[in-house]
Amino acid sequence: MTNFGRILMVEDDPKDVELSLTALEEYNLANEVVVTRDGEEALDYLYCRGKFSDRPDGNPAVLLLDLKLPKVNGLEVLQQIKSDAKLMMIPVVVLTSSHEEKDMVASYKLGVNAYVVKPVDFHEFVNAVRELGVFWAIINEPPPGSLKKH
Amino acid sequence: MQWKPQLPRPLSTIQSYGLAALSVSVALGGALLLERFEFRDVEVPLFLFAVAVSAWYGGTGAAVLALVLSCIAFDYFFVQPLYSFYVSGSDLPYFIVFATFALLVTWFSAVRRRVERDLRQARDELKIEVAERTQQASLLNLTHDTIFVRDMTNVITYWNRGAQELYGWTPEQAIGKRSPELLHTVSPAPIEQIREELLRSGRWDGELERSKADGSQVVVASRWSLRRDEQGQPTAILETNNDITERKRREQEARVLNEELAKRTAELEAINRELEAFAYTISHDLRAPLRHIAGFTELLQKNSASLLNEKSQRYVTMILESANRMGNLIDDLLAFSRIGRAETHKTPVSLDQLVQEALSEVRQETDGRIIVWKVGELPAWYGDRSMLRLALVNLISNAVKFTRTRALAEIEIGCREQDQNQVVVFIRDNGVGFDMKYINKLFGVFQRLHGPEVFEGTGIGLATVQRIVHRHGGRAWAEGLVDKGATFYFSLSKSQGV
C-alpha cells in the first residue's frame, strides 16, 4: 500500500476493499488508492499525522467514504472535512450500503458531493466503483492543491 | 306566630271633616238638650269630647275644624249675649283655655296617629319580610343542591332538604351542631387560611372531604359566601355543596387509564424504534455479506472457470441465484417495513386512473400472452396515491402471474359495492386459484402457496397489499378454488385509517 494516493478510500470491510480494488484495477487506478480502515485513520491521513506524518503534502482528488465505520464514523469524518478550510474542497463521495433517507439527508446537509448506495449485485457494484474512480480521478478536474497524477 | 292587628284604617279627608262637623253638631245638640233639662256648664266637656273624637278618628285637620266649630257654637249658644258672635274681653281667657286644652288633645291625638302610622308601616314591612323569608326558605328546600348556613362559630343555623339528602342528617339533627365536628370536614388548606380568604373576599370555593350520617365518605365541591350585618360585621356563612364523589372517582380512573396508555404508547414507541434499528441493520449489514458472496463467487467463476467441472459450475450458479434472491427478499422486506412506517399522504384519487397506470406497468410482463381484460368503472376516492397504486400493481401482477398456465387468461377488475363511506374493489382471474384452507396464510409475510420453480416471488406482495389497505381503514380478503381462479377483494373507507 502506497502513501502516495489520489483516491482515499475509507472502508472497514476488507472484502469490500478487495472487490473495489478489483474493479479499479481495470483502469490501473488500484495503485492510486490509499485505504484507511476507520474514520480516525482517514483523518490522520488528511492531517498528515500518526503513521501518515511523512506522506507527501496535498489532498486526495476524491474521498470514497463509508458511513458505518469503527471509532469515528463517516458522517463525523464528513463534518470535520467540510468544516476545515484546508480540506473542505476535497470532493467526498459517500459509498454506503445504507438506503436510509436520514443518512442521505444528513450527508447532503453536511455538503457531500455524491451519495452512492453500494449495489448488492456484484456487477453493478464493480461498475459503480469503477465509474466513480474514473470520473473523480480522471475526468474531474480536482481542486488546486490536490495530488497530481503519476 | 299569628298577630292580627286591630288598628283602624285612617278616614278620608271628607269623612274626617264630616266627622268633625257631625261630632260638634252632636255635642251642640247634646248640650242644648241638657240645658233644656237645667244641666248647666256641660257644653265645654262635650265640645272637648267632640274635638277629641275628631282628632282621634279624623286627624289634625278634623280636630282644628271641630275646635273652630266648637268655639263658634259655644260663643253663639252659650256665651252672653246669647245668639250672637260677640266675644267680651272677660270671656277671652275662657276661650283661650278651651282652645289650648283642645289643641293639647289634638296634639296628643296627632302623636298617637303618627305612632300608629309608623307601627302600621313597620307591621307591613315585617309582614312582607316574613313572607319573603318563608318563600326563600321553602325555595331553598326545593333545590337539589345542598345548602346550609352556619354562624361565625360554625354552629349550623339552617339546613335544607338537599343537605339532608346528601349528608343524611335531618334539619332537627343538624341545626345547633358545629359543622366541622358533624361532618368531619377535611379541607385542602388549613382552615385558618380558608377563613382568612373568606373574610377578605367574602367567598371561598374548593373541594372538601366529609362524612355522611351513615359514615361513608363524600367529596363535595363547596362554595362559601359570607353574610355581613349592616355594620359590616360578619354574621353567617352560607355554604352550598355539590356531591362530586362519582366525578372524582371517574377522574381517578381516567388518570390511571391515561397513565397506562402513556406507558403502552412509550412501549410501542420503543418497539417501533427497535424495529427501525432492525430495518437499518438489515439494509446495511445484510447487504454487504451478500455482495461478497455474489462478488467472490463471480470472481471465482471468472478466474477459475476452466478448473470447475460441470457440477461445480452449477453450484456456483446456484450460489449466485440464491444471493440474488436474498437480495430481493431484503429489498421487499425493507419496502414492506417502509409502508408500515411511512406517513400516508391522502388526497382525492381516481381509482380508474390508478388501475390504468397499474395495467400499463404490468403489461410489460404479458408479452406473447393472450389476456382478456375486463375493466369496470371505479369511483374517485380518497387515499394515498402511491400506496394504492402499489396495491393495485401487486394484485394485478399476481393475477397475470397465476394465469400464466392458461391459454386464454381472463382478468376482471371492478367495483362490487359502494356507499358513502366504503368501496370494495375486486380483481378476479381464471388462474390456478388456491385452496381456501390456506386462506389464513395468504396475506402473511413471506407466505407462499407455490414453489419458486412454479411461480417466482418473495411472498411479500399480498402482505404489502393488506398493510396498505389497513392503513386506509379497510380490509383485504380473497376467495378461490384450486384450478378455478381466484378473486381478491379490498375495501377502502373514506374517512378512517391511520
Q: Tell me the CATH number at A20.
A: 3.40.50.2300
Question: Is B82 domain-assigned?
Answer: yes
Q: Which of B284, B288, B295 sits opposite A122 (nearest CB)?
A: B295
| Chain B residues close to A118, C-beta within 8 Å | 287-288, 291
CA distances from A116 to A64, A70, B279 (A): 10, 20, 19
Residues B314 and B381 in one domain: no
Is the pLDDT at B497 greater than 70, yes or no?
no
Full DSSP string of B169-180: --HHHHTTSBHH
pLDDT at A150: 52
Residue B308 host element (H or E): none
From B281, B315, B337, the end of a domain falls on B337
d(CA A97, CA B281): 10
| Chain B residues close to A97, C-beta within 8 Å | 283-285, 287-288
Contact yes or no for A32/A6 (Cβ under 8 A): yes
User: What is the CA B409 to chain-centroid distance, rounded?
Assistant: 62
Q: Which residue has the higher pLDDT, B86 or A92?
A: A92
CA distance B418 to chain A (A): 38
Residues B308 and B369 in one domain: no
Question: Is B307 domain-assigned?
Answer: yes
Question: Is A75 domain-assigned?
Answer: yes
pLDDT at A1: 37
pLDDT at A109: 94
Tell me the mean pLDDT in the region B378-397: 90
Residues B17 and B131 in one domain: yes
User: What does the DSSP 8-state code read for residue B316?
Assistant: H
Cell numbers 367567598: residue: B203
| Chain A residues close to B330, C-beta within 8 Å | 120
Question: Is A1 domain-assigned?
Answer: no
Number of structural domains found in chain A = 1
Tell me the mean pLDDT in the region B393-399: 92
Q: What is the tens place of the pLDDT at every residue in B332-359?
A: 777 777 777 777 788 899 999 999 999 9
Tell me the mean pLDDT in the region B54-83: 84
pLDDT band at B2 (very low <50, low <70, confident <90, very high): very low
pLDDT at B287: 75
Question: Is A49 domain-assigned?
Answer: yes
d(CA A88, CA A78): 9
pLDDT at B48: 85
Residues B234 and B271 in one domain: no
pLDDT at A93: 93
pLDDT band at B410 (very low <50, low <70, confident <90, very high): very high
pLDDT band at B31 (very low <50, low <70, confident <90, very high): confident
Tell me the mean pLDDT in the region B405-430: 88
Q: What ipTM was estimated for this complex?
A: 0.70
User: What is the CA B303 to chain-centroid distance, rounded?
Assistant: 82
Give the largest CA-CA distance in chain B: 184
Interchain proximity B291–A118, CB inside 8 Å: yes
Task: Give me the residues paired with residue A114 across strands.
Answer: A93
Highest mean pLDDT among A117-131, B95-109, B158-172: B158-172
Cell numbers 451519495: residue: A115
Q: Taking Cα atoms as reference points, which of A84, A95, A139 lies closest to residue A118?
A: A95
pLDDT band at B498 (very low <50, low <70, confident <90, very high): very low
Strands A92-96 and A114-117: parallel
Question: Is A118 domain-assigned?
Answer: yes
Report H helices in B143-190: 161-167, 171-174, 179-183
Residues B47 and B80 in one domain: yes
| Chain B residues close to A98, C-beta within 8 Å | 280, 283-284
Question: Is A90 domain-assigned?
Answer: yes
pLDDT at A55: 83
CATH number for the domain that contains residue B159? 3.30.450.20
What residue numbers bound the domain in which B307 lies?
249-337
Residues B350 and B483 in one domain: yes
Q: Is the peptide bond before B81 cis (omega within 30 degrees of 0)?
A: yes
pLDDT at B156: 92
Question: Is A29 domain-assigned?
Answer: yes
Classify burial at A106, counting beta carbons within 10 Å of its beta carbon; exposed 0-12, middle 13-18, buried 19 or more.
Answer: middle
Q: Number of residue pairs across A and B with CB atoms under 8 Å?
A: 52
From B243, B267, B282, the end of a domain falls on B243
Interchain proximity B295–A118, CB inside 8 Å: no
Question: Is A94 domain-assigned?
Answer: yes
Is the pLDDT at A145 greater than 80, yes or no?
no
A22 touches chain B (CB under 8 A): yes
A150 touches chain B (CB under 8 A): no
Question: Is B8 domain-assigned?
Answer: no
Exposed e or buried b per residue across B231-241, where buried means at least 16 C-beta atoms within 10 angstroms of its C-beta: eeeeebbbbbb
Residues B400 and B305 in one domain: no
From B136, B154, B170, the end of a domain falls on B136
Number of structural domains found in chain B = 4
Question: Is A74 domain-assigned?
Answer: yes
A97 touches chain B (CB under 8 A): yes
Q: Which residue of A has its CA nearest to B292?
A: A15
Quick one: cell of B27?
A: 255635642
Question: Is B6 domain-assigned?
Answer: no
pLDDT at A5: 59
Question: Is B5 domain-assigned?
Answer: no
Is the pLDDT at B216 greater than 60, yes or no?
yes
Is the pLDDT at B366 greater than 70, yes or no?
yes
Q: What is the tens place of the pLDDT at every residue in B87-142?
A: 777 878 878 888 888 888 888 888 888 888 899 999 999 999 888 888 887 887 88
Residues B36 and B93 in one domain: yes
User: What does the DSSP 8-state code read for residue A61?
Assistant: S
Residues B352 and B463 in one domain: yes
* % residues pLDDT > 90 (chain B): 25
Residues B363 and B384 in one domain: yes
What residue numbers bound the domain in which A33 lies?
7-138
Q: What is the tens place of the pLDDT at every residue in A71-117?
A: 888 999 999 999 998 898 899 999 987 777 888 999 999 999 999 98
pLDDT band at B438 (very low <50, low <70, confident <90, very high): confident
d(CA B387, CA B336): 11
Cell numbers 501518515: residue: A52
- ∠ CA B415-B417-B418, rounded to 5°: 100
pLDDT band at A64 (very low <50, low <70, confident <90, very high): very high
Q: Which residue has the higher pLDDT, B282 or B292?
A: B292
Interchain proximity B294–A68, CB inside 8 Å: no
Interchain proximity B292–A96, CB inside 8 Å: no
Residues B31 and B110 in one domain: yes
Residues B165 and B297 in one domain: no
CATH number for the domain that contains residue B350? 3.30.565.10
A98 touches chain B (CB under 8 A): yes
**Average pLDDT score, chain B:** 85
